[in-house]
Structure 1
Amino acid sequence: IYKHGKSHKPWWKSQFFVIEPVLFGTWDGVFTSCLINIFGVVLFLRTGWMVGNVGIGLAVLIVIITVTVASLASLSAIGICERCKDMGTGGVYYLVSKVLGGKIGGTVGIMYAFGLCVVSALYCTGFAESVTKTFQWNNEWAVRGVAIGTLLCLLAINLAGVKWVIRLQLVLLLVLIISMSDFIIGTFVHTDPVNGFVGYSSEVLHNNTGPSFQVGETFFTVFGVFFPTATGVMAGVNMSGDLKNPAKSIPIGTLSAITISFILYLVFVLLLGSTCTRIALQTDFMIAEKVSGVGVLWLIGIYMSSTSSCSTGLYGAPRVLQSIANENVIPAIRFMGRGFGANKTPVIAICVVGFISLLFIFIGNLNLISPVITCNFMLVYASVDYSYFALAMSYDQRIKNFTKFKVQSLERAKTFCVSNKQKTGKFHRNRYAKEEFDEGTSEGVEATEDITVDKVNISLVVGANDEEPDSSHDTFEHEDPQLCSTSSSNFFVNFVLMSQSDHSDFNDMDEILQQPHSWYAVLCNRWSSLFGAFLSIVVMFLIHWVYALANILAFLLIYMYTALFNPGLNPGAAAHFSFIEWIKQVFSGICNKKTKLPEQYVVTPMTTAPYTMVPTQLTVDNEDFANRGRFHQSAVGDYDYVSLA
């Protein structure tokens, strides 16, 4: 008994920090992180203000546009995850760099990390705003002080490790569900006419249907304030390195969180627009507290949602910076790549993110910070959308090329044979058969001879009119091969000399995979991604053209710095796709002009086989030719013809 009692470990000896890697699944990782970050402080504090300015109809439109932009970006990210071979760490940065190359990927990663820093400042400011209004501290420095204290506490939690962040979010999700339920139930159980909550009324619903903008507000300025609610849709992608199965967890968790969020957005808009007066909606940012049945539960919900959203931003931004630094994409931030602990917690990057967030906290105004975040994330989402479009178009381009040069095995090539087997095979002369290549033909037969081979790996490339290829490239090894062929010019034979231990991968398409079959596959569409990219750019300029130009200028500066100091980065899987050339082809097709395709070249792969070329003497050294020099000899002589007649 005493031994069992003594075996209990005291609480002060417990391990509070992460000592081993922790991996999460769909619901405890992706779904929780996305939903918690989507239900941020903007939804609680600015939904009523949005309805009061634009009305119920336009508020629903804002919600639809917000969810559409975020959903298209999420689907593009999911499509990239599924169609690329491996899913590394770094979230949005890794996705874009995998497709568009390290230069653009590093630039987008920096922009995205900066946006998360500003988001963290936004949520800390919203938390502080709700606290000061609750205690009636009408002082801007009180808001800044509470926000700074909140930021420092959340930074400490992130330094403790990812396990504590996720554990905290699970508790916050439960509190958030209780708070939302309290708000919905409150619309039925009581009213508060003094504060503008009059209950369900057809007159109130009619009055709040149309817009009534305050001074200085427009549809797009209101949209710019509300859009940061959707910045959490990439939270699941950002934690890809901490997931057990990212390819499965990210699609299900992200799409589930977006669907639930969209429904609750509409519920918030319709309930507030049906029960509260317009004056109360425009002037009282805490109107939802008056609507809820128990105001304390609503306050706890807003406090928890703001802190959890901030913690998610503080979790994602340092890991994006850490991934960029570890790959040395931008040399100036290489010092941020160092990680500590089993999960490689980016302590230095967390401190840098905290400092940037601290700078934006001093602005102290939610409506001023929100448009900055909106323009930043619009540019990032447009990059993700275009990445998937370029990836899909590049895959089709490779499919077209491989249809033109289909790979078949030697066994299926009936017009070729291997004959004249010898102990040592030799081709005694070079023969080239080559034809002009167009869409329906191939490059003819090319045989390289005068080479003694031990192992020959033979692969056959067939023209576009032949049967479909196998899913893999079949190769056959023969000890003493000698090739004989027909006169057909629709074949191109590539002999690759290789040692028995050497292998060559002919399938360049392995870098981009075919889109897998799933219930959401129809949503991962290249044209919807292109539309999402165009929509994001247009809305970004409509919200605030100065902020939009500033973000584009920052994007170009970071890109030029990366290209200057690190020009040898990976060009990406879609490096061969050109959007400008595609536009030219589209317009040429519209004008019924046939585009002249560039000349195609087939370059055989290099071989590292240990074969050398040795000159061979045609004659032998003996007494008959002992006095003859080792060079070609000829002489011109005069002869007298004698007639024998």
Structure 2
Amino acid sequence: MENGNVNRDQSTNYNINWSRFGLGTETAQRVRANTSGFVDLSSDCDYGGGGHQASSANELFAEEQGDVPWWKSNFFISQPVLFGTWDGVFTSCLINIFGVIVFLRSGWIVGQAGVASAVIVVLFTVFTALISVLSAVGICDRCRIESGGVYFVIAHTLGSRFGGSLGLLYCFGQAVGCALNVLGFGESIAQLLGFGDSKWADQLIAMAAVLLLSVINVAGVKWVIKLQFVLLLILLLAGLDFMVGSFVHTDEGQGFEGWLSGNLEKNMWSNYQEDYSWFKVFGVFFPTITGVLSGINMSGDLKAPSTNIPNGTLAAIGFGTFLYLVFVIFLGATCTRAALLADFTITAKVSVIRVLLLAGLYVSSMSSCLGAMYGTPRVLQSIALENVIPGIDILGLGRGPNKVPLYSMAVVAVVTFTFIFIGEINTLAPIVTMPFLLTYAAIDYAYFALAQTFDIQHQREQRFHRPRVQHQVSSDDSDLDRLFPERTRHKTLRGDSGTPSGSEETGETSPISPKLNIHSKQNSWYSNLCNRWLSLFGAMLKILIMMLVNWYYALACISVVFLVWLYIGTANPAVKPGLASEFHFLRWLKIVLLRALGRRVIDYEQIVVSPVDPSVDVTPSQLNEDNQDFANRRRYHQSATIHGHMVNIDD
């Protein structure tokens, strides 16, 4: 009994560190005062509903614990939201590639190029973008994907220096593309309201649309995705309305004569006017497909980016191609060439319910701009957060659990407003085309370089591959390991026996062993579509197209990227290299050309070991290349000499 009383007294006086359990001093006092050991939640208080401490000193998790105003919990995000293949990637891609140009310029493209050439324009546009899509899919398949979208794909593969310069150009192209889409929206709304050809009315309506979409983006990604579903439904209904209308009625006074008019044969071949050519028409249509990588820009908000992005993007581009061809063929078969060239809203004349198609036109403008204003600021935010370009750190700040980039959104909005004042759709379309072509060319080259780097690393691994023999490690093997420490590293990566990371009995690799950053192709249905040589061809093709569409715009874009690249190298030379930094294109091209000419080329790593014979003079030589960022600095070498002395212990 005495021992029991002593223990009871000790337990009563025992000081418990309540902070270990997330309870503050006030909570500790209540628990100590309550003999049952439970916190009294009914007393008046510092506790919110459900017993959460919301108004005392500990307010760190107040918003997550329920003490949140109803308007804030319903209209703003309190926890991070992640999306999947269809709600995140497919929807974002499709509403971005089914844009305003399809509704307002499909007829004009058919009138200029003819049905045959217009179909080729569509297929060539899709093929050009599809190469970049497959390149991006290949990178996602063989590397880990984080937030940052297109910037992360390029920077992770080619290095932050290339990623920063091309990422800025991509953001610029997205902002100009947003201006193009909202100008189409403003042009259509102004005509509907009776303003005629008033340029100021078009611009004011476009600016109001940008402000509205900015507010939706500030509310959070949850509202963006919800709105995208509604917009996509309206777009699909507008496309269905257009197809049905081409069969059920005609309007010959407006140039819509129906399927039996013979217009398909009359409009089959080209009739270019106003100095337009096939490549200029291609430059007008190409911005339609530029949003095909918008799913990658959502990489930070996806549940499984490596699988969500390929499945959603490829499904969206397949369905979008079908819609492009429907508009081109249906307009060419049912409308006169004069109407196609003169009337930009000829699709509304074909539809059975004009209001529904106009709604699709407005939605296509808004949806494309919505996707651009959501993804582009996050690319800027990633560039700023990694400190790639000095001086733009403020753009990395974000609000809320999903880190909404308010400052980056403001920059994108300013660029969009600027180009709203500059010109019309046909003027802005080539300006939008150049940044995207150059960015997509970089993605194509990135996959090619990544695949080549994987081969280099694989060949290096094979040099150290030896069949494992249990319970036997030769002395030569251990001597070579001491002489060349990289052998131990490579065996550790494989988990070979005799190394700390491998299990001799099971052959399994220890979970703490390092992993290679580049993987081989996965066993998925889209992996076989990714081909490095197709990607290399796509990169060269896009550079050629840039020159053919508008060579001075192309040179301007390349010059801007080069200047930003030089600035990053000067102001921030310590940026991280990419996974494909081991591959050098010019060196590879030289080897290929020499082999094509029949010359023998030794392409292997040389390991030089200094001889120990004192009669042989040895001259040291540098084998590795200088770092270009520090090549202009002076060299300083340091040597030390260690002298040994005999010590007589007996003394």
TM-score, normalised relative to structure 2: 0.79
2:429 maps to 1:406: no
Against the structure 1 CA distance between its residues 163 and 579, is the aligned structure 2 distance closer, same or farther, given a 3 Å change threshold?
A: same
2:121 maps to 1:62: yes
Aligned partner of 2:534 among 503, 528, 536? 528
Aligned partner of 1:31 among 90, 97, 121? 90
Specify the alignment match of 1:131 in structure 2: 189
Against the structure 1 CA distance between its residues 471 and 461, is the aligned structure 2 distance closer, same or farther, given a 3 Å change threshold?
A: closer
Specify the alignment match of 1:237 in structure 2: 296
2:597 maps to 1:591: yes
The separation in 2 between residues aligned to 1:171 and 1:147, in whole angstroms, is: 21
Specify the alignment match of 1:472 in structure 2: 495
Specify the alignment match of 1:78 in structure 2: 137
Higher radius of gyration, 1 or 2: 1
Structure number having the greater strand percentage: 1
Aligned partner of 1:22 among 74, 81, 87? 81
The separation in 1 between residues aligned to 2:429 and 2:253, in whole angstroms, is: 30
The separation in 1 between residues aligned to 2:112 and 2:90, in whole angstroms, is: 32
| Contact kept? 2:259, 2:333, Cα under 8 Å | yes
2:107 maps to 1:48: yes
Matched pairs, number: 542
State the AA in 1 paired with 2:599: K
The separation in 2 between residues aligned to 1:299 and 1:189, in whole angstroms, is: 18
Specify the alignment match of 1:554 in structure 2: 560
2:117 maps to 1:94: no
Against the structure 1 CA distance between its residues 154 and 448, is the aligned structure 2 distance closer, same or farther, given a 3 Å change threshold?
A: closer
Specify the alignment match of 2:286 in structure 1: 227
User: Cα offset for 1:257?
Assistant: 0.2
Specify the alignment match of 1:165 in structure 2: 224
| Contact kept? 2:493, 2:513, Cα under 8 Å | no
| Contact kept? 2:210, 2:413, Cα under 8 Å | yes
Specify the alignment match of 2:403 in structure 1: 344
Deviations along 1:200-230, whole A, 9 cap, x unmatched?
Answer: 1362111100000111211111111100010
Specify the alignment match of 1:541 in structure 2: 547
Deviations along 1:150-173, whole A, 9 cap, x unmatched?
Answer: 111111111111111111000001
| Contact kept? 2:110, 2:328, Cα under 8 Å | yes
The separation in 1 between residues aligned to 2:575 and 2:412, in whole angstroms, is: 25
Against the structure 1 CA distance between its residues 133 and 346, is the aligned structure 2 distance closer, same or farther, given a 3 Å change threshold?
A: same
User: Cα offset for 1:597?
Assistant: 3.0
State the AA in 2 paired with 1:540: M
2:439 maps to 1:380: yes
Deviations along 1:147-197, whole A, 9 cap, x unmatched?
Answer: 111111111111111111111000001111111110000000000000000
Percent pairwise identity: 46
The separation in 2 between residues aligned to 1:548 and 1:370, in whole angstroms, is: 13
The separation in 2 between residues aligned to 1:458 and 1:141, in whole angstroms, is: 70
Cα root mean square deviation, aligned: 2.8
The separation in 1 between residues aligned to 2:72 and 2:554, in whole angstroms, is: 52
The separation in 2 between residues aligned to 1:77 and 1:348, in whole angstroms, is: 28
The separation in 1 between residues aligned to 2:282 and 2:482, in whole angstroms, is: 67
Against the structure 1 CA distance between its residues 375 and 413, is the aligned structure 2 distance closer, same or farther, given a 3 Å change threshold?
A: farther
The separation in 1 between residues aligned to 2:513 and 2:70, in whole angstroms, is: 58
SS at match of 2:391: helix
| Contact kept? 2:473, 2:498, Cα under 8 Å | no
State the AA in 2 paired with 1:183: F
Against the structure 1 CA distance between its residues 269 and 461, is the aligned structure 2 distance closer, same or farther, given a 3 Å change threshold?
A: closer
The separation in 1 between residues aligned to 2:350 and 2:370, in whole angstroms, is: 28
Specify the alignment match of 1:600 in structure 2: 606
| Contact kept? 1:52, 1:212, Cα under 8 Å | yes
User: Cα offset for 1:446?
Assistant: 3.8
Specify the alignment match of 1:181 in structure 2: 240
The separation in 1 between residues aligned to 2:71 and 2:647, in whole angstroms, is: 92
| Contact kept? 1:18, 1:161, Cα under 8 Å | yes
User: Cα offset for 1:473?
Assistant: 3.5
Specify the alignment match of 1:277 in structure 2: 336
The separation in 1 between residues aligned to 2:585 and 2:118, in whole angstroms, is: 35
Specify the alignment match of 2:374 in structure 1: 315
Matches within 5 A, 1:367-516: 367-406=426-465, 411-412=469-470, 416=474, 445-446=479-480, 459=488, 471-476=494-499, 505=514, 510-516=516-522
The separation in 2 between residues aligned to 1:249 and 1:294, in whole angstroms, is: 36
User: Cα offset for 1:584?
Assistant: 1.1
| Contact kept? 1:407, 1:473, Cα under 8 Å | no
The separation in 2 between residues aligned to 1:403 and 1:598, in whole angstroms, is: 12
Specify the alignment match of 1:117 in structure 2: 175
Deviations along 1:441-461, whole A, 9 cap, x unmatched?
Answer: xx9954769xxxxxx999498
Against the structure 1 CA distance between its residues 589 and 174, is the aligned structure 2 distance closer, same or farther, given a 3 Å change threshold?
A: same
Higher mean alpha-carbon deviation, 285-294 vs 400-409, is at 400-409
Against the structure 1 CA distance between its residues 15 and 90, is the aligned structure 2 distance closer, same or farther, given a 3 Å change threshold?
A: same
2:578 maps to 1:578: no
Structure number having the greater helix percentage: 2
| Contact kept? 2:481, 2:487, Cα under 8 Å | no
User: Cα offset for 1:475?
Assistant: 3.6
The separation in 1 between residues aligned to 2:312 and 2:251, in whole angstroms, is: 38
State the AA in 2 paired with 1:265: Y
Against the structure 1 CA distance between its residues 477 and 557, is the aligned structure 2 distance closer, same or farther, given a 3 Å change threshold?
A: closer
User: Cα offset for 1:618?
Assistant: 8.7
Deviations along 1:59-96, whole A, 9 cap, x unmatched?
Answer: 01111111011111111111111111x21111010011
Which sections of structure 2, spanning at least 5 residues, go unmatched? 1-67, 502-509, 610-641
| Contact kept? 1:53, 1:212, Cα under 8 Å | yes
| Contact kept? 1:60, 1:269, Cα under 8 Å | yes
Specify the alignment match of 2:414 in structure 1: 355
Against the structure 1 CA distance between its residues 309 and 406, is the aligned structure 2 distance closer, same or farther, given a 3 Å change threshold?
A: same
Specify the alignment match of 1:105 in structure 2: 163
State the AA in 2 paired with 1:302: L
| Contact kept? 1:126, 1:366, Cα under 8 Å | yes
2:167 maps to 1:144: no
Against the structure 1 CA distance between its residues 474 and 617, is the aligned structure 2 distance closer, same or farther, given a 3 Å change threshold?
A: farther
Aligned partner of 1:154 among 207, 213, 226? 213
The separation in 1 between residues aligned to 2:466 and 2:382, in whole angstroms, is: 38
State the AA in 1 paired with 2:595: G
Specify the alignment match of 1:298 in structure 2: 357
User: Cα offset for 1:261?
Assistant: 0.6
Against the structure 1 CA distance between its residues 580 and 64, is the aligned structure 2 distance closer, same or farther, given a 3 Å change threshold?
A: same
The separation in 1 between residues aligned to 2:427 and 2:88, in whole angstroms, is: 32
Specify the alignment match of 2:613 in structure 1: none
The separation in 2 between residues aligned to 1:504 and 1:144, in whole angstroms, is: 59
User: Cα offset for 1:617?
Assistant: 9.3
Specify the alignment match of 2:506 in structure 1: none
SS at match of 2:262: helix
State the AA in 2 paired with 1:325: A
User: Cα offset for 1:471?
Assistant: 4.6
Which sections of structure 1, spanning at least 5 residues, go unmatched? 1-8, 418-432, 434-442, 450-455, 463-468, 479-500, 604-613, 627-645
Aligned partner of 1:218 among 277, 286, 289? 277
SS at match of 1:595: coil
